[in-house]
Amino acid sequence: MSKSVYGYIGDLWSRPNDGEMKQAYKQHLVEFRKAENFCRIERPTRLDRARKLGYKAKQGYVLVRAKVRKGSLRKHAIKKGRRAARMGITKITVGKNLQWIAEERTNKRYPNLEVLNSYWVGQDGKQNFYEVILVDPLHPVIKADPKINWICSHKHKGRVYRGLTSAGKRARGLHKKGIGAEKIRPSIRANKRRAK
Number of domains in the chain: 1
| C-alpha span between 167 and 175 (Å, rounded) | 10
CATH of the domain at 174: 3.40.1120.10
Instruction: State percent of the chain over pLDDT 90.
Output: 69
Q: What is the pLDDT of residue 25?
A: 92
Q: How far is the first Cα of the chain from the last one, in angstroms, to the nearest whole number?
A: 55
Contacts of 137 (CB under 8 A, 6+ apart): 113, 114, 143, 151, 152, 156, 157
| C-alpha span between 193 and 170 (Å, rounded) | 22
Q: What is the mean predicted confidence (pLDDT) over 165-187?
A: 91
The number of angstroms, rounded, from the C-alpha of 122 to the middle of its chain's C-alpha atoms is 12
pLDDT digits (tens, 9 = 90+) for 33-49: 999 999 999 999 999 99
Q: What is the pLDDT of residue 78?
A: 79
| C-alpha span between 27 and 104 (Å, rounded) | 27
pLDDT digits (tens, 9 = 90+) for 81-135: 777 677 777 778 888 999 999 999 999 999 999 999 999 999 999 999 999 999 9
- Give me the domain span that covers residue 27: 5-195
> Is the torsion defined by CA of 118, 122, 123, 127 positive or negative?
negative
Q: What is the pLDDT of residue 159?
A: 94
| C-alpha span between 114 and 150 (Å, rounded) | 12
